[in-house]
Structure 1
Amino acid sequence: MKKMLLAATAVLALGAPAFAQETLRIATEGAYAPWNFLNDNGEPAGFEIDLGNAICETAGLTCEWILNDWDSIIPNLLAGNYDLIMAGMSITDERLATIDFSQNYFPPDPSRFVAAPGSDLDFSALSGARIGVQSGTMQAGYAEANLAEGNTIVSFSTADQNMADLMAGNIDTILADGAYLDPVVNASNGAIEYYGEDVLIGDGVAAGMRKNEAELKAQIDAALDMLKADGTVDALIAQWFDGMGPFFTE
């Protein structure tokens, strides 16, 4: 499994960490802009990287970033290969059966359908459609549970592969997070557009962790409380999501 480690030294703002380790190992996909991606130097960047580093600074920890493919990101958390997931992951009942989450740091984000202009699909009652989703996402789970009858659900390892097949005409539509789709649609010069009603799934985006990690959960939530209260979270959302928000401050 390909991994990339990147350490960022944090200021010990809160004194000695309550977390048993002084280094917080955070896994991210590095392929889901603007949440997380690799910059021109091949280093993790994006909203969650900046927020994760701010969490470490506030909590008095050192961040170590680990790249992991989306499909195996939860299994490798459970195997102890890292302590936290920050990868555009929404809180869902299905995931809560296996892992725990911090409080959310991005509110529930409507999922949306995109397709080429002039699509003749009836998005109020999809039938005969090839629907692209990223495997292991809440959209994939929703599609399999609610859209599989009469349609073909096509799963892709990454969001980029999903979008490439839509552009190539190999699938008819994509169901994905609105916050991910917005910049893609805006940059497409009319090559794709939104269709149908928003689909509400999940309880917002948060950091995933193993169950029974009470000290870690408390420390992450305490840091997020501070970063929400001082406007840091809203400022990072506005920076990375084209002025979106504010959500956590008035």
Structure 2
Amino acid sequence: MISRHPRTRHTTALRRVTAAALGAALLLSVSACSAAVDDEAAAPAADQAFTTVTEGTLTCAMSGEYRPFNFYDESNELVGFDVDICNGIAEELGLEAEPVTGAFNSLIAGLTSDRYDAIIGSMSSTEERLAQVDFTESYYATGAELFVATDSSITDVADLKDATVGVALGTTFEEYARTLEGVSDVTTFQADIDALRDLEAGRVDAVITQGFMGRYLAKNADLKVDAVGDVLFPDVAAIPVNKENPELLDAINAALVTMHEDGTYEAISIDWFGEDIS
């Protein structure tokens, strides 16, 4: 449980300070005539002011059950692509990263209650979520796919009449599954790997999840399941931030741009997936 803290104001968003800005600050201390230049150089930093729930820290929420994006490894350390993105953004903002976990369907409530600064947990923007929080620009894009047991006769969502479909609780995959005509039941799971294991065991007839992640999980757990049919819909992940903190939203967007430009994002992506998934 994370205790609630009053938000702490930060007056600079980015960790990099240019040599010109440092030089201007030095000149200010020795010559009044440089004041106008200093004011101009200092203005952007003031514009980038933002708040965090804990001073000097960027608290990033995720489920911890979405391997390889965020999960606990064999030594019970929280790791994954999302964790490294949290670390990279925090570094750009001059903050310490604090990745924390909670049930996926509770993360928005935790964010709006000021328990977290942002959700860096592979969350997609939906109309319902946008009514409660703001989202950054996307930080990766894949697609939802249908998974079935290797020996299944199901080849497409059109074959799901009277079928039981497994999905992770509180996800866009659950929302989509509940719109499918003819589906007998939608069974929810806390983690996609549990849904895929039940799929192999025959306890559900199909699973809808992110295609890239589903294949990764199936391969690493040696499950006899396959993706079938076309991509069902785009799965675009972005970072929710409180509506009352637009400065932090802007700072995170700027940090993501910098991470793309300097190669940090690509390095993180290749480390986890062998390719750039942006």
TM-score by length of 1: 0.86
Instruction: Name stretches of at least 5 consecutive residues in structure 2 with no aligned partner.
Output: 4-13, 18-44
Report how far residue 214 of structure 1 moved: 0.9
Report how far residue 188 of structure 1 moved: 5.2
User: Among 213, 217, 237, which residue is 2:269 paired with?
Assistant: 237
| Maintained 8 Å contact 1:105/1:233 | no
Q: 2:203 maps to what in 1?
A: 170
**Partner Cα separation in structure 1 for residue 2 and residue 103 of structure 2:** 8
Whether 1:123 aligns to 2:156 is: yes
Q: 2:79 maps to what in 1?
A: 45
Instruction: For residue 239 of structure 2, give the secondary structure of its aligned residue in structure 1.
Output: strand
| Maintained 8 Å contact 2:215/2:226 | no
Report how far residue 194 of structure 1 moved: 1.3
Report how far residue 134 of structure 1 moved: 0.6
Q: 1:19 maps to what in 2?
A: 50
Instruction: For residue 239 of structure 1, give the secondary structure of its aligned residue in structure 2.
Output: helix
CA RMSD of aligned residues (A): 2.2
**Partner Cα separation in structure 1 for residue 183 and residue 214 of structure 2:** 25
Whether 1:226 aligns to 2:237 is: no
Q: 2:239 maps to what in 1?
A: 207
Report how far residue 184 of structure 1 moved: 2.0
**Partner Cα separation in structure 2 for residue 150 and residue 84 of structure 1:** 35
Correspondence 1:81-160 to 2 at 5 A: 81-107=115-141, 109-125=142-158, 126-145=160-179, 147-160=180-193
| Maintained 8 Å contact 1:76/1:82 | yes
Q: Percent identity?
A: 31
Q: 1:68 maps to what in 2?
A: 102
| Maintained 8 Å contact 1:110/1:177 | yes
| Maintained 8 Å contact 1:28/1:86 | yes
Report how far residue 2 of structure 1 moved: 8.7
**Partner Cα separation in structure 1 for residue 195 and residue 115 of structure 2:** 28
- For the structure 1 residues 20 and 71, does the alpha-carbon distance in structure 2 shift closer, same or farther, using more than 3 Å as the test? closer
Q: 1:8 maps to what in 2?
A: none
Q: What is the identity, as a one-letter code, of the residue corresponding to 1:71?
A: N
| Maintained 8 Å contact 1:2/1:68 | no
Instruction: For residue 123 of structure 2, give the secondary structure of its aligned residue in structure 1.
Output: coil
- For the structure 1 residues 245 and 152, does the alpha-carbon distance in structure 2 shift closer, same or farther, using more than 3 Å as the test? same
Report how far residue 128 of structure 1 moved: 1.2
Q: 2:227 maps to what in 1?
A: 194
CA deviation profile, 1:31-88 (whole Å, cap 9, x unmatched): 1111001123322111111111111111111212222111211111111111111111
| Maintained 8 Å contact 2:123/2:237 | yes
**Partner Cα separation in structure 2 for residue 225 and residue 180 of structure 1:** 24
TM-score by length of 2: 0.78
| Maintained 8 Å contact 2:164/2:184 | yes
**Partner Cα separation in structure 2 for residue 55 and residue 134 of structure 1:** 27
Instruction: For residue 103 of structure 1, give the secondary structure of its aligned residue in structure 2.
Output: coil
Instruction: For residue 204 of structure 2, give the secondary structure of its aligned residue in structure 1.
Output: coil
Instruction: Name stretches of at least 5 consecutive residues in structure 1 with no aligned partner.
Output: 4-11
Correspondence 1:176-187 to 2 at 5 A: 176-187=209-220
Instruction: State how many pairs are aligned.
Output: 235
